[in-house]
Amino acid sequence: MEEMTNRRGIMLVLSSPSGAGKTTITRRLLESVDSLEMSVSVTTRPKRSDEIEGRDYSFVDDEKFEKLVSQGAFLEYATVFGRSYGTPREPVEAALGNGRDIIFDIDWQGHSQLVSSMANDVVSVFILPPSLDELEQRLRRRAQDVDNVVASRMAKASDEMSHFSDYHYVVINRSLDEAVESVTSILLAERYRRERQTGLQEFVLQLKST
């Protein structure tokens, strides 16, 4: 008898205040976990020197972004620090149907919209810093934000962290290696949820009939 291995993909959402580590954790997961790919958001913010078009983001102007919104092309979209971000609908839905997992590096607003439209597919993890002092130090170490931007991100952090209870899991990023290990464990366990394993009932019926 052929083994049942089919499953529906997972939308793994990572959120955190800016500087708490979600982007670094995301990159580590993509390097170490099989069958996981990045949701490439569309954004109106400028490209940073280390970013690649189509890998990190798809960069568009405001006019193009608004056109995509009007066409219903996004699963979710939001404006953060004056820049717009959106998740394209079509590639995500195709990946899930083919059993591939998609990781999302988005804020609580985007998470809320994803849950509203595709709650059964979402597994969400909120990343917290060990302290506000450590969060500020991490922002300054990035050396890409000026003082007023760091201050703005710190002011926003309290509001962002207040949404932790909307998420399935919470990981405190005291150590990057431990945080990556924790999120990896969450993803691997969620892959085995009964409702994600398509054709499971038929497989069990086959087992009972042999």
Tens-digit pLDDT profile for residues 126-143: 999 988 888 878 777 765
Other beta carbons within 10 Å of 45:
14
Report the chain's C-alpha Rg in angstroms.
19
Residue 1 has pLDDT above 50, yes or no: no
CATH numbers and ranges of domains, the chain: 11-39+100-209 (3.40.50.300)
**Cα–Cα distance measured from residue 68 to residue 87, given in angstroms and rounded to the nearest whole number:** 10
Write phi, then psi, for 139 (nearest 5 degrees).
-60, -40
Tens-digit pLDDT profile for residues 77-133: 988 778 999 999 998 999 999 999 999 988 898 899 999 989 999 999 999 998 888
The residue whose two tokens read 């002011």 is: 155
